[in-house]
Chain A
């Protein structure tokens, strides 16, 4: 074997294990799920899915949940990142406090928020009444459920957006920062005109990443929706519910394909 082709072969050895694994346990199951979504009866599962009266509600919920999460997480993440970046000292402590929710798994945060949302003894209503809001049944009232779920999701997603945006703000070089200070720019001017425009990329990344992750989030809507009601179901929940709970496998798989394709 010649030296060049030997080196090419060993070069391939670098990525073949990863490729083989991802093909076998990622791409193959995906194709399998798509294949089984249309059994011998053709496209009937898709017809059933699109005739399913709750589908528009589920899609609406999914959009509220994912865009609400991404929008608010990015906005709060940006403000907190500017805050942490502008602090002369203590920005390390601020960062630790901001990313604390990131360390709590979705499962645990959903359960903790269940107690916070408790209509009688939960602190959510306590704080709401201090601000003059009426007492709410956060997880019980159908028109409110998806928004309560989205608040938990925002809570969990702010840290990720914060970390991404802070890294962007930090990558503005010190010479630019010092030059702006020498020119007599205030902090507000520095951030609106220099630092934020320069870290546009990381802000966009934060938005897109939180959006995509929220869109596929199963854990939060699953735990908070322990009554399995459609009024707070999102698409990933619907897929699991139909396949593993109701045994409507091909219809659930069709919903999965819809989820993949959207």
Chain B
């Protein structure tokens, strides 16, 4: 702190000397010009906004995620078989076994279909934590379906964290509905 006290008088004295001698490029003492534009400043947003999704590094996805893209989503087919979870848990309860069996039967009866499992959470958890928890819930159902004979390569998982509640309420009845896996059946596009 004592050294600091010396800094300002010293800098002041030297700066005044500097200004008085008429060096080129000197600025008036104590005036701080602030550029009007934000050009180049960290945090600036450029004009363009181009998306080059083709430029994926690392040789692209390990699992063939794109094989799910050109299919028709059928959200109604398995809507009755949504499974639910206990608070902060990704363990599948026995009460959900019948629903999982129904999902497995649907997939096993038509080998041309595929499945998206969407994992969801209630709002009681931090955002990125819930994104991981939703992921675990979807992955847990995929593991359970594999045991029921469904090839995991036909199943894609997707976590929405707490971003897609079915009930926007802030009470246990809403929360218990929101802690869930939804099953979305995928059909090959007709004519494809």
B is bound to A? no
